[in-house]
Amino acid sequence: MNKCLGPMTFTVSHNPDGIDLRFSATLENIDRVAEETKRFVRRMDVEEHTFDVFLVLREALVNAVIHGSGGDGQKIVSCTLRLEDGSLIMEIEDEGEGFDWRGCLAKSPDPNSDCGRGLGIMKEYCADFRFNDKGNGLIMRKRLSSRVAHCQEISALPSIK
């Protein structure tokens, strides 16, 4: 399925285990990615508890749109979601220059500040994530407890003879 709205890009490609999204770096498109992700997890039967997934995904996308792309709607953000071994893998990349993620991760958010909590939330809600060296690409893994994840674990066990 492809959706192109004038100069703004929003494309979704479906494959058996995941979806690939490419979109213009706008805040409204983050909501559209969240909607597509909802449909995807429903299709994959992993809807049991998805608040944490949507939260960390939104934080990663906000970083990519606001900081990575500087709010420039001409820039493209890509987001790939796939189900792998009972986990949801989320890869987000923007066309920006990256940032000093090592320095930012080492800092605690200022409790009185009205910004700077995105990475703090990711640290609290996603045990497994890493940036590329430059800081314009991020991969996150969220373990899912669902029928599908459970079945995959069971099918990975050696068969009884």
Partner 1 sequence: MAKAKKKAQQEVVKPEKDVVASMAEAFREKLLKIVQSGVKDLVIDLMGVEMVDSVGIGVLVATHNSVSKAGGKMSVTNVSEDIYKLFKTMRLDQHFEVSPVAG
Whole-number Å distance between alpha carbons of 144 and 146: 6
Strand-pair category, 8-15 with 2-5: antiparallel
Minimum CB distance to partner 1 smaller for 115 or for 156? 115
**Which residues here bind partner 1, judged by CB under 8 A?**
27-28, 30-31, 34, 51-52, 54-55, 58-59, 62, 65-66, 109, 111-115, 117-118, 120-121, 124
Whole-number Å distance between alpha carbons of 4 and 10: 6
Minimum CB distance to partner 1 smaller for 17 or for 116? 116
Ordered DSSP codes for 114-155: SS--HHHHHHHH-SEEEE-SSSSEEEEEEE--SHHHHHHHHH
Q: How far is the CB of 151 from partner 1 (least distance, A)?
A: 26
Minimum CB distance to partner 1 smaller for 72 or for 152? 72
Q: What residue type is 106 in one-letter code?
A: A
Q: How far is the CB of 51 from partner 1 (least distance, A)?
A: 4
Q: How far is the CB of 32 from partner 1 (least distance, A)?
A: 10
Q: How far is the CB of 48 from partner 1 (least distance, A)?
A: 13
